[in-house]
Amino acid sequence: MKMARALLVALLLVSCFVALGLSGRADAAAERKTVGVYELNKGDFSIKVTNWGATLMSVILLDSRGNFGDVILGYDTVAEYMNGTAYFGGLIGRVANRIANARFTLDGKTYRLVPNDGNNTLHGGHRGFDKVVWTVKEHVAGGSSPFITLYYHSFDGEQGFPGDVDVHVTYQLSSPHVLSVRMNATARGKATPVNLAHHAYWNLGGDGSGNVLGEEVRLFASRYTPVDASLIPTGRMASVAGTPYDFRTPAAVGSRIGGLLSRGVNGYDINYVVDGRGLRPVAVVRDGASGRAMELWADQPGVQFYTANGLSGVRGKGGKVYGHYGALCLETQGFPDAVNRPSFPSQIVRPGKVYKHDMVFKFSF
């Protein structure tokens, strides 16, 4: 197993070098399946994406003093993403978040998944969409709205899920400093749950600049879904009022964390029920030191707010070491374990039907 993995990494590394540096419009005949790194540049705003896991590798932005910084955690090389376990910048699927006891029943048939988080399935299983090679469909590196579209065909039975699924994700930069992530997935042949999520680890002060407990966050969510000890929702939707989960008015990330620690919870890792419907504000994050701010809009029922509680001594970009609370994640998505919770919004996509998920990040500095 180890040998096979080492060989795979070596092979992909070779193809990585081959693909590096190539950019421009990929025509249909030359769709690229070798692993590469693709840049989108719009003046003082740029990102890097790799088709390994449709992963966002960097988001480069100015700060209020005119210095550039990378506001997401990650690695310098694709090989490190292949080996990594933190889901840095990855596109998570087929079903993001947890599925209790690694199984569900759909249309009378029980499906067994891969348990990779105690008894539960997390983020699609042992080898989710963040650990596969995507095809680059189109890449426009510059101009007024640079973009890249990636495609993945998930096969019937992959990680235990039923039916083929065609998945697309498009990363695009637009004015003035807007990054959009647009996802869709079409079920082919069988009904299946689909719940995609984007797993960037944000630190508006710059990756490796320390913890985010001093960054200010606002969440447009009046309720959350309480969980049991293995982070599976109890099925309730509880008000955030009077709890450490209340970020309806802007507050420092660390300002209420003591209330979690005293309950034996080591940080935020919880799904919020986002107020309203459609494409609407989900969160605003501000970092006083750099003057950077980020507004997130999305069209999903929930957002998992995670404060990188599990990070510890991870060596990332430029040798920087990422620790506990070194970033925050705002993973818009459906609710955890929805496939086993009839009271939660359904994630089932019937054959021929399309799942859609749009995220819009608006930056200022």
Q: Is 230 an interacting residue with respect to ligand NAG (CB under 6 A)?
A: yes
Chain CA centroid to CA 335, Å? 14
CB 191 within 8 A of CB 162: yes
Task: Confirm whether residue 44 is marked as ligand binding.
Answer: no
**Binding window for ligand NAG (CB under 6 A); candidates: 40-48, 77-85, 124-132, 152-160:** 77-85
Closest separation in Å from C-beta 170 to ligand NAG: 5
Q: How far, in Å, CA of 265 to CA of 287, rounded?
A: 25
160 vs 316 by CB, closer to ligand NAG? 316
Asked if 76 touches ligand NAG (CB under 6 A), the answer is no
> Which residue type sits at 8?
L
Residue with tokens 């950019």: 23
Q: Does 286 show up as a binding residue in the annotation?
A: no
Which region, judged by CB under 6 A, interacts with ligand NAG, from 20-28, 29-37, 76-84, 193-201? 76-84
In terms of CB distance, is 212 or 231 closer to ligand NAG? 231
CA 315/CA 322 separation, integer angstroms: 6
Q: Which C-beta is closer to ligand NAG: that of 80 or that of 269?
A: 80
Note if 153 is an active site residue: no
Three-state SS across 124-153?
CCCCCHHHCECEEEEEECCCCCCEEEEEEE
Is 199 annotated among the ligand-binding residues? yes
Closer residue to ligand NAG, CB minimum distance, 83 or 364? 83
- Sheet with 329-333, strands from edge to edge, namely 238-239, 221-224, 269-274, 302-306, 329-333
Contact present, 142 and 41 (Cβ < 8 Å): yes
User: Which of 12, 22, 60, 118 is in the footprint of ligand NAG by CB under 6 A?
Assistant: 118
Contacts of 98 (CB under 8 A, 6+ apart): 117, 120, 121, 122, 230, 231, 232, 336, 337
8 Å CB contact between 202 and 216: no
The answer to the question of residue 83 lying near ligand NAG (CB under 6 A) is yes
Between the two ends of the chain, the Cα-to-Cα distance in Å is 47
Check the annotation: does 200 bind a ligand.
Answer: yes
Please tell me whether 164 is known to bind a ligand.
no
3-class SS string, 182-216: EEEEEEECCCEECECEEECCECCCCCCCCCCCCCE
Catalytic, out of 123, 177, 199, 357: 199
Which residue's CB is nearer to ligand NAG, number 39 or number 80?
A: 80
Task: Determine if residue 275 is labeled as part of a ligand binding site.
Answer: no
Q: Does 149 bind ligand NAG (CB under 6 A)?
A: yes
Q: CA 266, CA 308: separation in Å to the nearest integer? A: 10
Task: Write the interaction track for ligand NAG spanning residues 163-202; mark x where CB under 6 A is met and - where it is not.
Answer: -----x-x-------------x-x----------------
Catalytic annotation present for 331: yes
Q: How far is the CB of 118 from ligand NAG (least distance, A)?
A: 3
Annotated binding residues for beta-D-galactose, as ranges?
A: 97-98, 199-201, 269
Interface residues toward ligand NAG, by CB under 6 A? 79-80, 83, 118-119, 149, 168, 170, 184, 186, 230, 354
Active site amino acids: 199, 331
